């Protein structure tokens, strides 16, 4: 969070000069990220959050308009609270205050600020929103301070110097006879909680403060991926009340069992050091970890695991993935391929037709199959937000999800999505309108190319794990600069 930095041109008493402002410091972080990278192989990523009432908020909102932005390694989100929305609803003004002095430097209509946020999100996918009051209402360690920021994709609210410790279970591997195998899932949840707790002690922390705070709160974030794959195996359309109910059933089970596993670890190893004065002490519950659940975007690990990412719908049933040295792979959804073969409908000609759009809309396939295999951009934004909220209802931390929108989506669609996320008590939201960035990692279909020019592969592990790791290292975009990532 850059919200506590004094605004540009604020007087610096010690030098009698003026401050360069919050955005100038963001550019330093961005440049440093470029220089350091991650082991020289992967780009780093940052989340930049500025409260709506900071004097530089207008410049912040428009800071990623250009493809050559100085903030290419940043996701940006506006920090919001209930006061803003109350002012918006009564058509009132927002006071932009100097964080150093508390003085009001300017007033602007809340509606003007809101429209600016919506317009830029429509044009570029940035900024998203972070609901700081919602985050702190569920802060389990308020005794240690308020939370002001998150990790780069927004799913993990963090205190200063805390770190992410996340893991995700591939739900596609837990479907048995058309249902979730809860017995096996419970076993993996308990094992995963122990594993993630071990990571805290085994890890070599780069900074002493990070080690101290991470060991004090012992936050872990166990989540899921392969959710869309699991739904397909169970015959449940993503855009349905049955899918929402399934999401709540799975996440509540994960929440309950991860809490139980952390309680068991507390008996074995002791409570987390920051337990006294925490939420857990107030309800007399011994916990080894201050949080246990998080829904991460799983952009990299879902590729390696050969499953759909996080809780997202299927992005496309056939799509082009740009990989090492400009190579292009045409990936085909394995569940669709199997379904078509089982129904006697599979053909190479049909797969090439599907690849042109990435979905089944232009095919003569049965309507129930089309409904089951709706892709992210075919699904109305309201279902996207409802699904995020369904998982958030049973999640200690946050949920990283992209609200995918077709290119034809309007600014009103984005405004409604943002308001719906707020009303449903999500902790943040990010939208992405297809084509709103000059480049993106995933494309729907191959209409601009001949499908036969791309090598067809199955989404399963036909590419070996080492090869996948090599490709991921060369193409992964953790800062979501190309629009492939989320909050």
More confident residue, 148 or 448: 148
- Supply the DSSP symbol for 42: B
- CA 79 from centre of chain: 16
More confident residue, 40 or 346: 346
Q: What is the pLDDT of residue 16?
A: 63
Cis peptide before 75 (omega within 30 of 0): no
How do beta strands 428-433 and 128-131 pair? antiparallel
Residues identified as active-site: 151, 153, 155
> ∠ CA 124-130-132 to the nearest 5 degrees?
160
Question: CB-based burial of residue 14 (10 Å sphere; 0-12 exposed, 13-18 middle, 19+ buried)?
Answer: exposed
Tell whether the model's pLDDT for residue 487 goes beyond 50: no
Question: CB-based burial of residue 287 (10 Å sphere; 0-12 exposed, 13-18 middle, 19+ buried)?
Answer: buried
Tell whether the model's pLDDT for residue 274 goes beyond 90: yes
Tell whether the model's pLDDT for residue 468 goes beyond 50: no
More confident residue, 321 or 469: 321
Length of the chain: 487
H/E segment holding residue 179:
strand 179-180
Q: What is the pLDDT of residue 275?
A: 98
Q: How far is CA 302 from CA 164, 171, 305, in A?
A: 18, 11, 5
Tell whether the model's pLDDT for residue 159 goes beyond 80: yes
Locate 132 and state its tokens. 């700081």
Torsions phi, psi for 243 (to 5 deg) = -65, -40
**Pairwise CA distance, residues 290 & 259, whole Å:** 10
Taking only the tens place, the pLDDT of each residue in 227-252 is 999 999 999 999 999 999 999 999 99
The average confidence (pLDDT) of the chain is 87
H/E segment holding residue 340:
helix 334-342
Question: CB-based burial of residue 464 (10 Å sphere; 0-12 exposed, 13-18 middle, 19+ buried)?
Answer: exposed
Q: What is the pLDDT of residue 453?
A: 47
Phi-psi region of 151 (alpha: psi -120 to 50; beta: other; left: phi over 0): beta
Q: What is the pLDDT of residue 295?
A: 98
Tell whether the model's pLDDT for residue 481 goes beyond 80: no
Could you tell me the pTM of the whole model?
0.88
H/E segment holding residue 263:
helix 241-269
Question: For residues 216 and 361, is the Cβ–Cβ distance under 8 A?
Answer: no
- Supply the DSSP symbol for 399: B
% of the chain at pLDDT higher than 90: 69
More confident residue, 112 or 486: 112
Question: For residues 64 and 105, is the Cβ–Cβ distance under 8 A?
Answer: no
- Supply the DSSP symbol for 350: H
Taking only the tens place, the pLDDT of each residue in 403-427 is 999 999 999 999 999 999 999 999 9
């Amino acid at each position: 969070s850059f919200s506590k930095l004094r605004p540009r041109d604020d007087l610096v008493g010690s030098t009698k000069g003026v401050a360069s402002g919050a955005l100038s410091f963001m550019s330093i972080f961005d440049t440093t990220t470029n220089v350091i990278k991650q082991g020289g192989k992967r780009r780093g990523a940052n989340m930049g959050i500025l409260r709506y009432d900071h004097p530089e908020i207008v410049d912040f909102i428009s800071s990623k308009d250009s493809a050559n932005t100085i903030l290419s390694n940043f996701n940006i989100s506006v920090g919001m609270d209930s006061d803003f929305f109350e002012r918006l609803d009564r058509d009132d003004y927002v006071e932009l205050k100097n964080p150093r002095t508390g003085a009001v430097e300017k007033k602007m209509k809340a509606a003007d600020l809101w429209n600016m946020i919506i317009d830029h999100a429509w044009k570029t996918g940035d900024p998203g929103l972070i609901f700081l009051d919602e985050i702190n209402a569920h802060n389990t360690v308020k005794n240690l301070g308020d939370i002001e920021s998150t990790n780069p994709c927004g799913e993990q609210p963090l205190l200063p110097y805390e770190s992410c410790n996340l893991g995700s279970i591939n739900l596609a591997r837990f479907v048995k006879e058309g249902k979730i195998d809860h017995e096996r899932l419970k076993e993996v949840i308990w094992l995963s909680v122990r594993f993630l707790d071990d990571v805290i002690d085994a890890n070599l922390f780069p900074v002493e403060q990070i080690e101290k705070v991470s060991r004090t709160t012992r936050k872990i974030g166990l989540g899921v991926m392969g959710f869309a794959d699991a739904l397909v195996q169970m015959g449940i359309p993503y855009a349905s009340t049955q899918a929402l109910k399934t999401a709540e059933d799975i996440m509540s089970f994960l929440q309950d069992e991860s809490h139980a596993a952390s309680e068991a670890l507390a008996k074995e190893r002791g409570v987390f050091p920051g337990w006294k004065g925490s939420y857990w002490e107030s309800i007399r519950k011994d916990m080894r970890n201050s949080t246990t659940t998080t829904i991460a975007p799983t952009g990299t690990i879902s590729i390696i695991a050969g499953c759909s990412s996080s809780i997202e719908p299927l992005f496309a049933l056939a799509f082009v993935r740009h990989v090492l040295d400009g190579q292009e792979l045409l990936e085909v959804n394995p569940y669709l391929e199997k379904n078509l073969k089982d129904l006697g409908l599979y053909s190479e000609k049909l797969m090439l037709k599907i690849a042109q759009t990435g979905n089944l809309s232009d095919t003569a396939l049965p309507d129930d199959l089309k409904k089951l295999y709706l892709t992210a951009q075919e699904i109305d934004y309201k279902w996207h937000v409802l699904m995020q909220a369904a998982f958030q209802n049973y999640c200690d931390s946050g949920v990283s999800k992209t609200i995918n929108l077709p290119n034809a989506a309007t600014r009103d669609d984005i405004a409604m999505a943002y308001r719906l996320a707020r009303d449903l008590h999500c902790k943040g939201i990010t939208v992405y309108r297809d084509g709103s960035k000059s480049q993106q990692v995933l494309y729907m279909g191959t209409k601009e190319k001949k499908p036969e020019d791309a090598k067809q592969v199955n989404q399963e592990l036909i590419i070996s794990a080492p090869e996948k790791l090599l490709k991921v290292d060369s193409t992964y975009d953790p800062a979501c600069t190309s629009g492939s990532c989320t909050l």
